Chains A and B, each alone.
Chain A
């Protein structure tokens, strides 16, 4: 299970880095989105194997892989806490996901506004637009000044 998670994290990372290095802002946004997921999954991987297989349960090996909840170290651990997966990483992931939603909403809104005002989402064209803008600004200013 941990291996599967690790593979997922790796794939997510790879794809997101590829997207982040691109010149299309939509791709960059998706890359940011994916890297957030990779981060969340890596925290999940840190919390130990969530579902032990039947074989692991019978052999008793996987229990060692389950991280104990930090509260169980607080005092004499109660038996009820024995089979519990550490809930804290999941709380962390929950928080990170919620923050990710907000950030993603913002980023997509920003994309829409930029697309409306610049007419493109290609980084190269946005930069070109930047260079082209100043002469046009001057050109529009000059007739105004003349008038």
Chain B
């Protein structure tokens, strides 16, 4: 068995911390801060892609290509473990790319005053929380990562402090605080039941206990508690009400970042913890139907919302929720194929949702409104043709018409979903696909294609000529994401392969457990050899086994 230890992966967490801290004293030198921020996200993107490449090249059957880093060299169930498998890698790469492009966009679009209010440190800390949630190997650190992410997101939520922003912030802050408390309680209960919070160890224990039919009482309730926490963060049906209220109040670049990344963290947590731990035994029979119904309702109600609103920001928020429904559906089927689809779809949705939010920002800059009833015939203005193309590509990628990137993920998920058990949800997913095409065409049609609104006397008409030159960083940021989404669509194979590995690793969590727990570096015999006989203080046996191993050699 090869040694899966790779300490490089701490860099994806360490880089945002260091860069974020660097930005704090330099906050009055915006140019420097911008450079640092962009460097930070570019670096995390490159690191995660390189690590993914390494996973692919040495994905041996024993560990399934999973990298593990034990912080401070403490062996798995006792120390802090970071785990990097294909799923984490995909999410990390996607999130960093989105952060890079939205920050680029923010440089052009955020007022200088807002940017100086610690925008760059906050985004860096947000990404620290996000990256740590993707990497962490135990439940309590997942809580800590969520809290880091949420604290930064509260800061970004009220940045610039519009009245509306402040008012809506409560819903987001209070709901998330409540969910965090439930998370702490649930983590405490898990510890009370199993005496460990390491996910791999929990996975091992639940598999063993459910095989013997000895799962502790209340295990299902525990799963449902976690379900509450994660579905709230992900924005699944009954718990998404805060999302379409808060996201539209944000400055658009931050809305793009939140829309792209934050819900995916909740989805990732569902995929990770439920595939490993909380579907064991009878718990699965309770939780899977809840999740399936949640996924169907999320999609359906979301698409109705997308059809109903006229504010473009709200429509996009609802489309984001539809995407959450699809991803959740892929996760809940829990087959290798469907998880592959979910992994692919989540990365794609991250990139595309952020892209269309940014495009929405460009449209607002050009027309001064985000109400699709008050704009029209934007294509007639030669300078906006490029924007029209962008929005068209973005919206079709969300819907998933064949040549664009949403297609592969949706196709896989629905194909896997049309089985005996989930056919109702599968049919809903098909129907929702049609409806979201309608919603997307309504947005694009009424803004770019349809007749110009009868508002010739409003001041907006005059503003067109002046506002049309978008700052370069805005254009680069938005185009970057659109091009990335096109690449995902047209050169899908490498990503599909990686997503396939992610699906395989999630569907058969034994490899994850082995990579974390049966790490040869910490193998039992290495500890045993260092044991008594050679007159050591008792601490040596409890502390770093690797030290003992080194001495032995």
Contacts and interface: CB of A to CB of B under 8 A. Distances in A.
Interface of A: 20, 25, 28, 32, 35-36, 38-40, 42-43, 45-47, 67, 70-71, 73-75, 78, 80, 88-89, 92, 95-96, 99, 102-103, 106-107, 110, 113-114, 117-118, 126, 129-130, 133
B191 A88 contact: yes
Given A20-B178, A114-B170, 15 more contacts: A20-B174, A39-B182, A39-B184, A42-B189, A46-B191, A70-B196, A74-B78, A89-B188, A92-B191, A96-B143, A103-B151, A106-B151, A107-B173, A107-B174, A129-B167
Nearest to A117: B163
Contacts of A80: 538
A28 B171 CA distance: 11
A74 B539 CA distance: 12
B195 A70 contact: yes
Interface residues of B, number: 39
Contacts of A28: 170, 174
B154 A106 contact: yes
Contacts of B174: 20, 28, 32, 107
Contacts, number: 104
5 contacts: A43-B187, A74-B541, A113-B166, A114-B166, A118-B163
A74 to B, nearest CB: 6
Contacts of B542: 71, 74-75
A78 B177 CA distance: 41
B167 A92 contact: no
Contacts of B140: 92, 95
Nearest to A91: B140
A118 B182 CA distance: 31
Contact of A70 (B77, B143, B177): B77
A42 B188 contact: yes
Contacts of A42: 185, 188-189
B538 A71 contact: no
Interface string B154-168: 110010010110110
B541 A75 contact: yes
Interface in B118-163: 140, 143-144, 147, 150-151, 154-155, 158, 161, 163
B189 to A, nearest CB: 7
Given A89-B191, A95-B144, A102 B151 contact: yes
Contacts of B191: 43, 46, 88-89, 92
Contact of A75 (B147, B173, B178, B527): B527
B420 to A, nearest CB: 40
Contacts of B196: 70
B181 interface: yes
